[in-house]
Structure 1
């Protein structure tokens, strides 16, 4: 039976993917109410939430997912039946220079949220496991980086690929995934987890790879590329990811993990050159933009290749990406060009 959420707590809903998910859900549903909890660190911004559709169904709260008292109050006051947990430290370079914040937010924060949900739904509200699993959801957003790295001949990551994280970021996300799994098997908490490939699209923070390339190209600045640029990633347009998350919330099997991938493997250098070519057509006076490419020292522990096998999403939930990389990157560049200052 399909699950129908009513009152959703979205953590990290002022960040890149979270804000896009909030927009998607408000635009595609008629009655769902959203409580949006975000600490508004460097990665989250109220600018990402400007001009929301159906604003009357959206309530923003600035706060920390490690604040148990706040979580308890929000879950009760808003009668939350569904939690969609995006909030995370996610930038690999930052995790290398300051891993402590990743341990706190990604591990301790997830634990605090799980405990708040468990003690309310299965404790205070007195729901049986069966009743909770029919009327509540905890959706945990994770990453393909928990699986480690792939060689050229390796098959893509599946939901049964062993975890092998190689950075403090991916290790902290792997730990949070295990906590979520444990709360299902130990307590019967109604959880689902999705592990996604690299996202791109509107509202992404400027420090990430694709926004860095676009901003640098538009401003005539050096476009930095790690190592020789041959690292490979699987790219997923953010709106496709949002559709996939909603599909899993409504129809995914409890306790299961679903890999959401773009089926778009690209070398970093090929993405940079593709963006430069598109910028040439939009800003011909600054062409060729590829003259701005600069190779820089690779970062420590840089995973060589990621790729996701999204067969389970396709076969069980009838989901697949609607955007190719070419169509998605054109939409993304045009979105940036429509922003003030460009």
Structure 2
């Protein structure tokens, strides 16, 4: 493939075989993508002419060698040292009789898995890779706004193979089981402050596979501290019925417009979400900075569903000494420190402890926290017998 200066955006002609032609992209269905195999390499093709989707599908089905003319070449942000092919409205595709090479089913080489220990050695800042790993534990779970404005569920796991372990963020809901092995394709690798992490993309596929052996030991820094909240910064936003982030919303306005849905909604039908950054003062010296989402914060504060940013901050500042569990600078659990140390909430380990608590003889013993909770028994008969004694 001929190279071109991305600044000049010179139009080129490329030849090869098409495969992995995607469906039309939602929500506007204004483009689709494919992969072009040329020689011993493969390049991503982004097509901005949806009316030619059937033509690209036929070329893939028939394994016809094609010539893409007047396309734009730009460096790939996903694969270091490679070029993406942009097929615009001025580009054309034609089938050619003989390319000289046959379609190679063993390509592309980048679809092969890479070990977790090799990931930090990749020099590119953004790279899509394939891995085989075991889901070791769940770090934290929440929701976040993605690049297209949608508010999606997000779960961060610690995954490991036989060489290393790493943090993997999985967007949307997936049927993932802790302790199982998975083949995970088309995940994006990112490096921030010398720390490598992975995140799923719209093209990611997660497939459960048999055990691949013993994974490396995992050490995730998690700590639980007693602390006082001395600082808070709250960012609140609103979500429409289709989970789009709404900007520049006025809560007092009766309606709000969602550009993604192209629909006006009642403001009362939207949902307010918020995230917080807290400054925590432990009982020991030092200040800890950590973030949290509303799913973690709401159970411990008292505010109305449509509370303002200032009301949320005041409620956070009014909290007593709290017991906070932090994983990778993210608060995963927060509770009143006085309640967490209440002897009545402690685990009963012996008959001697039971006697010291002076429990009534008719009270059922406490179950372990991991047990399934059932409704209390019907005490109607017990109550009636007491009345008879009276």
Query: TM-score w.r.t. structure 2 length?
Result: 0.21
Please say which structure displays the higher CA radius of gyration: 2
Query: TM-score w.r.t. structure 1 length?
Result: 0.23
Q: Which has the higher contact order (CA 8 A, sep 6+)?
A: 1
Question: Hey, which of these two has a bigger chunk of helix by percent?
Answer: 1
